[in-house]
Structure 1
Amino acid sequence: MAFFRPRVSREAEVRHHADQEVGKGFPELLERARAAEAELRRVQAAASPVEVVRAAGLAFDKALTEALRAAEANQRATFGVRSYDDRIRRRRARATPEGAGWTDEVNRLRTMRERNRLTGIPRVPRPVQASAR
């Protein structure tokens, strides 16, 4: 008696390999984010002008976003090829120690990025034009 074993879709295989490639650069991207954060904290401590702090905050946001994308790719790749098509496999993979570790890392980076977006990027005041009446 032969049992039907569903194959993984070609699209899932392609996405899995793409995520593996993107995820390889995670340590380097995380180091860039740490350097950008250190620069932002240095600029904030030096009481620099708002424009300089904003530029450093935006650079930190960009570095965090790139590191977050790589962490998410590593998370999906860790879950396995079959998890791309099956939500149950995704859920089970998230419960493994390695999957939980990547899930925690992704959540930590998301929280850090949101905190930076809310408090680390100051708005530059724009001059208000007088209305002609």
Structure 2
Amino acid sequence: MAFFRPRVSREAEVRFHADQEISKSFPELLDKARMAERTLRELRAANADDIELRAAGVAFDKALTEALRAAEAGQRATFGVKAYDDRIARRKAKATPAGVMWTAEADRLRTLREDNRMWGIPRTPRAVPAAR
């Protein structure tokens, strides 16, 4: 006797496997972000000029964005393949310990990136046009 088991879409399976592959690089990307943050903090402590601080801030932003993408992929992969098609399955998976851990990590990285975008990247001064 065969039981009916609703399958998930092929697209959900493909996205699930892609997210699993992306999430494998999360530790390396997080280390890159930590190194970029360390560089930015060292430049701030050394009273570097705004051009160097801006370059370090932009590099930190890029590293955080890559780490955030990997964390979000890990979050989706942890939720399981059914969560790609079903919002209730996604919501249930978010309540598991692994789901809570990945959600907290993604939120932490998102907040850190937004804080860096607001305050960590100095704006370069622009020349004021002469009044006629």
Asked whether the two chains share a fold, i.e. TM above 0.5, the reply is yes
Correspondence for 2:25: 25
SS at structure 1 position matched to 2:5: coil
- The equivalences for 1:85-124 within 5 A come to 85-124=85-124
CA distance in 1, matches of 2:52, 2:119: 15
User: TM-score w.r.t. structure 1 length?
Assistant: 0.96
CA distance in 2, matches of 1:5, 1:85: 15
Correspondence for 1:38: 38
CA distance in 2, matches of 1:120, 1:51: 12
Return 5+ residue gaps in structure 2 as ranges.
none
- What value does the CA root-mean-square deviation take over the aligned residues? 1.2
More deviation, 4-13/103-112: 4-13
- The equivalences for 1:64-79 within 5 A come to 64-79=64-79
More deviation, 110-119/2-11: 2-11
More deviation, 25-34/123-132: 123-132
Number of aligned residues = 132
Correspondence for 2:51: 51
TM-superposed deviation, 1:2: 6.3
TM-superposed deviation, 1:106: 0.3
CA distance in 2, matches of 1:26, 1:5: 33
The reply to whether residue 125 of structure 1 matches residue 121 of structure 2 is no
Moved over 4 A (4+): none
